[in-house]
Structure 1
Amino acid sequence: MRAFFVLFLVGASVLQVQAASPDPAPRIESVVMADVQPHTTDSAVIWYDNFDDPSNQKQYGEQSGKLTETEHFGAAGRSLEMGYPKGSRGVGGRKIFFGDSPTSRGKVVRGNESFDEIYWRIYVKHPADWQGGGPAKLSRATSLVPPGWRQAMISHVWSQGEALTLDPATGVRNGEVVTQRYNDFPNLKWLGNRPASNFKLHGSDGLGRWVSVEARVKLNTPGQKDGENQLWIDGRLEAERHNLDWRGTFTERGINAVFLEAYWNEGSPVDQARWIDNFVVSTQPIGPVVCPRNPELIRAQDVNASKTWQVELASDESGDNVVWQSSATDNPERMIVSSDTGQFVGKLVGKKELGADEIYFCRARQLENSGKWTAWSDWHQPFRTTPD
């Protein structure tokens, strides 16, 4: 559908007739993952859950919401559904405890360790018709201290309108934990929630497809202000906080829990849901999912999708190094990256598969009803290839 405005001058009045906008560029909803992800054997990984194995759910100290096969990253599987009936604050979440957590000791992962630095990653999908901006909560890492659920520090990954932001907080003063309970806001010291991400996870950038969200917390050296907090969305660094005093000189507990959360302060304006998949907690950077070197791309579907589309892959987030260009295809859902479906170019000219253990970004376009191609989408949906 094309867009134009027709202006009619009638006496002293102007009438505007508006048509629909040009067809938007398509995007890659997800990719078909390699059968084995590195998180299953990586010694740096504290926790990995793709929500396909029901037995994993027994490890969570607290959980709510259902697993669904209706939505999942890749070709098959399950995801965690966060449901939002109209007016509700959301249902669906998981709490994983690890290290020196004093809570749910019977379910604590790697309970004989203490962690001063962690990364955690999830994939999030909102439907294409999502409404209302962002629910306030998405995830957090925290340090729980006995007795009860006192918190020495919290790294919040929260919504700010359609964007995400980091909102770090400390519960330590003069080397002592001063919080008396969970979410003891009067006794927390907030360390800064701006700037927010440029990426609109709950808006035009993120709707209708799976988006990776990864965060990092590094506690400060005791007595120094050198803590770190970082946020990556869709493979790009979107927000960071430096020189943080997470804990003062307090060292009795490390980071020991990560929560996935649905809570929406104002309540959802309509009946809707979002989904979470491929949850990882690690002591090292995690990055995107791993795919075969001839990966299969899954197209995001929407009402404006046309039959004919194309894809390009680049080995950098800015698209300066394009390595594969597809032929136009009429397959409405899938595309395999190979020399049969396109051509390898740039540093991969003459090859038949992508490089080993490399990260690639995708972009796509489609043919409008007018016979013209849309503009290319932004570079998005990064994935890593398997090693040799």
Structure 2
Amino acid sequence: MKRFRWTTPLLIIGCGVVSGGVGARAAAADLPDVPRIDSVVMADAQPHETDAAVIWYDDFDDEAQQRRYPERSGETTAEVRFGDQGRALQMDYPEGERGTGGRKLFFGDTPTHRAQAVRPQETFTDVYWRIYVRHQRGWTGGGPAKLSRATSLVPPGWRQAMIAHVWSSGEALTLDPASGVRGARVVTTRYNDFDNLRWLGNKPASQFQLHSREESGRWVCVEARAKLNTPGQRDGLNQLWIDGRLEAERRDLDWRGTFADRGINAVFLEAYWNNGSPVDQSRWIDNFVVSTQPIGPAFCPRNPVLIKTPDRGSNGPRSWEAEIAADSAGASVVWTSDPLRGTDRVRVGTDTGRFIGSLAGEDQLDAARTYFVRARQQSETGQRSAWSPWHQPFQTLTGPETRSPK
């Protein structure tokens, strides 16, 4: 009898463990993917178009604008674009190849392509540049080595006094500034004269994993800054922001010694993958801005439209939700959506959710503010995903505006 009483519970417990394991695996399989906000619908007029600080703005929609680049490769496409209209620059990576697609912008006191230089009578010593980058969903292999760079070109030829590289570091991004100057003399003899460059430090890399599978399939805002040192001092600066957060910086840089004959005069967008892509895949670039002042993310109406990434799960989402916060950590949530069904987009307003916190009782976001978004979704069987990180920042326009149509 004692053996019977001991054995039966053990068998029951054993069955419960097996049953629980199957149930847990089934629940995990049903758990929907953590979504992202792919992009936002920008205001029709972006302040970059008229801002005197802006050296260059290209949304890749106008073919005539593409012809203003003295050197370019790759085509624009309307199949993938930031927001709900327009075009983007496509970079293609066939398996084993190093990538195609790019643009070279020359400005200021560039000695190269003077006839097509933008604002050729000026010298720039502090430059910001911003792009939106989207990697094909399921992106594989980490990052192509090259994304962008700002440089100071010096005659004769393509000698470089300095380079501010924005390069990959595994799935992350990093800054890799370099100087081609010793004292008052430019010692480089050609473009990418690595033997004569002085490297100023490529660590730390970003915490944000731009080239990861988790962040693929949606648009990410990447902004960099290069500020030349005062001649003879070590006060140069190189910074990198991703999705509105400062992710890497190099301070106290000696970019140019006492050399002061040229400023920063070119920014390049690049596709080059040193080792070649492991599979056929693509990435896209949109909304390219170069400025002498901080740029930040895209501008939206005060009732913006958010566009969610498509669901990747097999069961399909039953509904999804979004929240907006006035800070990057989500400490000041100001709007929360109702459950959303049958659509991947939502116009922020009182008919689709509630304004809360500092905006309780309002029907619009504040003007001239930067906001961050997060999202989650629910499967047909009621399983909710985790909330996404706070991401996809956007700026609201300054002053009163006409409300966007619903």
TM normalised by structure 1 equals 0.94
One-letter amino acid matched to 1:178? V
One of 327, 336, 350 as aligned partner of 1:339: 350
> Paired residue for 2:12?
none
* Residue deviations 1:81-113 (CA, integer Å, cap 9, x gap): 001111110000000000000000110000000
Distance in 2, matches of 1:222 and 1:157, equals 24
Determine whether 1:373 maps to 2:401: no
> Paired residue for 2:53?
44
110 and 7 in structure 1: CA distance in 2 versus 1, 3 angstrom threshold? farther
- Taking every aligned residue pair, what percent have the same amino acid on both sides? 63
One of 100, 103, 123 as aligned partner of 1:91: 100
One of 207, 221, 234 as aligned partner of 1:225: 234
User: Quick check: 1:163–1:197 contact (8 Å CA) kept in 2?
Assistant: yes
One-letter amino acid matched to 2:395? R
Segments of structure 2 that go 5 or more residues without pairing to the other structure are 1-14, 19-24, 400-406
344 and 281 in structure 1: CA distance in 2 versus 1, 3 angstrom threshold? same
User: Quick check: 1:307–1:332 contact (8 Å CA) kept in 2?
Assistant: no
Aligned residue pairs: how many? 377
User: Deviation at 1:307?
Assistant: 3.2
Q: Which of the two has greater helix per residue? A: 2
Secondary structure at the residue paired with 2:271?
coil
User: Quick check: 2:139–2:213 contact (8 Å CA) kept in 1?
Assistant: no
User: Quick check: 2:69–2:105 contact (8 Å CA) kept in 1?
Assistant: yes
Distance in 2, matches of 1:205 and 1:45, equals 33
User: Deviation at 1:129?
Assistant: 1.2
Distance in 2, matches of 1:59 and 1:206, equals 32
* Residue deviations 1:244-267 (CA, integer Å, cap 9, x gap): 000000000000000000000010
- 293-302 vs 202-211, which moves further: 202-211
> Paired residue for 1:183?
192
User: Deviation at 1:22?
Assistant: 2.9
Runs (4+) off by over 6 Å: 6-9, 16-19
- 19-28 vs 166-175, which moves further: 19-28
User: Deviation at 1:374?
Assistant: 1.9
> Paired residue for 2:5?
none
Determine whether 1:148 maps to 2:154: no
> Paired residue for 1:237?
246
> Paired residue for 2:8?
none
One of 336, 339, 353 as aligned partner of 1:328: 339
> Paired residue for 1:160?
169
> Paired residue for 1:207?
216
205 and 230 in structure 1: CA distance in 2 versus 1, 3 angstrom threshold? farther
* Residue deviations 1:114-171 (CA, integer Å, cap 9, x gap): 0000000000000121111100000000000000000000000000000000000000
One-letter amino acid matched to 1:134? G
One of 134, 142, 156 as aligned partner of 1:133: 142
Secondary structure at the residue paired with 1:347?
helix
Distance in 1, matches of 2:27 and 2:158, equals 56
> Paired residue for 1:295?
304
One-letter amino acid matched to 2:239? Q
18 and 337 in structure 1: CA distance in 2 versus 1, 3 angstrom threshold? closer
Distance in 1, matches of 2:297 and 2:207, equals 19
One of 156, 160, 174 as aligned partner of 2:183: 174
Distance in 1, matches of 2:111 and 2:77, equals 31
One-letter amino acid matched to 2:291? S
One of 308, 315, 327 as aligned partner of 1:316: 327
One-letter amino acid matched to 2:147? L
TM normalised by structure 2 equals 0.90
Secondary structure at the residue paired with 2:318?
coil
User: Quick check: 2:299–2:394 contact (8 Å CA) kept in 1?
Assistant: yes
Segments of structure 1 that go 5 or more residues without pairing to the other structure are 1-5, 10-15
* Residue deviations 1:189-231 (CA, integer Å, cap 9, x gap): 0000000000000004521100000000000010000100000
Q: Tell me how large the CA RMSD over aligned residues is.
A: 1.7
One-letter amino acid matched to 2:217? G
Distance in 2, matches of 1:17 and 1:318, equals 33
User: Deviation at 1:306?
Assistant: 1.1
One-letter amino acid matched to 2:223? E
User: Quick check: 2:72–2:103 contact (8 Å CA) kept in 1?
Assistant: yes
Is the radius of gyration larger for structure 1 or structure 2?
A: 2
User: Deviation at 1:7?
Assistant: 12
Distance in 2, matches of 1:22 and 1:350, equals 35
* Residue deviations 1:282-306 (CA, integer Å, cap 9, x gap): 0000000000111000111142251
Secondary structure at the residue paired with 1:39?
helix
One-letter amino acid matched to 1:281? V
User: Deviation at 1:331?
Assistant: 3.0
User: Quick check: 1:101–1:143 contact (8 Å CA) kept in 2?
Assistant: yes
User: Deviation at 1:17?
Assistant: 11
